[in-house]
Amino acid sequence: MQNERRLAVLRAIVEDYVQTEEPVGSKALVERHGLGVSPATVRNDMAVLEDEGYIAQPHTSAGRVPTDKGYRLFVDRLTTVKPMTSAEKRAIASFLEGAVDLDDVVQRSTRLLSQLTRQVAVVQYPTLSRSTVRHIELVALAPLRLLVVVILSTGRVEQRIVELPDDIPEDITDASLGELRARLNVAASGQLIGTAVEQLREVAVRLDQRRPDGTPGDGGIAAAVVDSLIEAMSDHRSDERVAVGGTSNLARFGDSFDTAVRPLLEALEEHVVLLKLIGEATAGGLVTVRIGAEGPYQELASTSVVATGYGPGDEAVATLGVVGPTRMDYPGSMAAVRAVARYLSRILDEA
């Protein structure tokens, strides 16, 4: 019973400190939270919590503030994640469903997440290595020029212009282009990028063989197209792309600028740092919370991260989350991160 009461006291301290950024006293806790015990009992509980490292007294005669250990216990003992209201759910759905392409989806998700949480939002673009091929399209632009388009499961669209060799045995017809398109899609559709590349190479080798009548095969065309497709599907530079929004929200933490905000502002300029900060994509709707020194960078020890994976179906192909000082609304941030990830995953699944 005492442990449950002390947990209630800790929960009240965290909630009040997040809201006011002022050290919390026993009298205020009793008045605001109806703990059902006297201020003296609350003071005793606060003394125990302080001895155990869950709260701290910033200076003499002040109230108490949560420590990183206190925030961690608070988050771990959350019985439920704060649900989004019906109005918030409708707003999320209508805002994201108006997107026209993947870039627009990611940018909208970033803005929405920063608005919902009043933190800095970070959304990683879907990674190629975790994508599958949805469709390959070939379009003739000129007698010796093709447009090659590959559409991935994550909504990404990669395209290349292919200049065909001058010594191809015959002009490209709609029929031959359709046959090649069908062969490529049979080989690659539904396959992960790595497997698709191997299958496409095999198609090019088979088509390079001579026909039964002894004439050259379509290997020259197929080889050029496959080389272009492999180049498009092997360009992993965009895997390190992230969208960042809500940097202005850091202005709310003016008194902790030097310890929390300044290092975070510097980190926001390095996408590789941000990717490591928000962590690997996690499937199954799992929301991870890293508090203070639990993160990968010591200079960001005053920072917390709430993140989760997103992607079509049950597959996590990238990560999104929010970053901010440890004094954040964890239940609200966790709910917003989870909700935006679910809607973003649904959009990718339907793309």
DSSP 96-128: HHT--SHHHHHHHHHHHHHHHHSSEEEEEPPPG
Pick the CATH number of 2-76 from 3.30.110.30, 1.10.540.10, 1.10.10.10, 2.30.40.10: 1.10.10.10
Q: If we measure between CA atoms, which residue out of 226, 225, 270, 221 comes closest to residue 244? A: 270
Q: Break the chain into its structural domains and give their ranges.
A: 2-76, 86-125+241-350, 130-237
Give the Cα separation of 321 and 349 in Å (integer): 20
Look up residue 64 and give its DSSP letter: B
Q: What is the pLDDT of residues 79-138, one digit of tens each?
A: 666 777 888 888 888 888 878 788 888 999 999 999 999 999 999 988 777 778 889 999
- 78-81 contacts: CB < 8 A, separation 24 or more? 78/330, 78/331, 78/334, 81/287, 81/331, 81/334, 81/335, 81/338
pLDDT score of 168: 67
Say what the pLDDT of residue 126 is.
Answer: 83
**pLDDT mean across residues, the chain:** 83
Q: What is the pLDDT of residue 66?
A: 95
pLDDT of residue 74: 94
pLDDT computed for residue 112 by the predictor: 92
Specify the higher pLDDT residue, 210 or 209: 209
What band does 215 get if pLDDT is binned at 50, 70 and 90? very low
- What whole-number percentage of the chain has pLDDT above 90? 29
What is the pLDDT, as a whole number, of residue 218? 54
Supply the pLDDT for residue 308: 93
Identify the band that residue 219 occupies on the pLDDT scale cut at 50, 70 and 90: low
Q: What is the mean pLDDT of residues 241-264?
A: 74
pLDDT value of position 169: 57
pLDDT in tens, 5-37: 899 999 999 999 988 888 998 888 888 888 888
| Inter-residue contact 325 to 303 (CB < 8 Å) | yes
Residue 170, helix vs strand vs coil? coil
Out of 2.40.50.140, 3.30.450.40, 3.90.800.10, 3.10.110.10, select the CATH number for domain 86-125+241-350: 3.30.450.40
Q: Record the tokens describing residue 8, joined without a space.
A: 């209630």
Cα dihedral 21→27→33→38 (10° resolution): 150
pLDDT at 283: 66
State the chain's maximal CA–CA distance in angstroms. Answer: 99
Superfamily classification of domain 130-237: Enolase-like, N-terminal domain (3.30.390.10)
* pLDDT score of 220: 72
Helix (H) or strand (E) run with residue 66 in it: strand 65-66
Roughly what angle, to the nearest 10 degrees, separates helices 330-350 and 102-117? 160
Note the helical H segments in the chain.
2-20, 26-33, 39-51, 68-76, 86-97, 102-117, 174-188, 193-207, 219-233, 262-267, 271-278, 330-350
Per residue in 315-348, pLDDT tens?
788 899 999 888 899 999 999 999 999 888 888 7
pLDDT tens for 262-299 read: 777 777 778 788 888 888 767 667 899 999 889 888 88
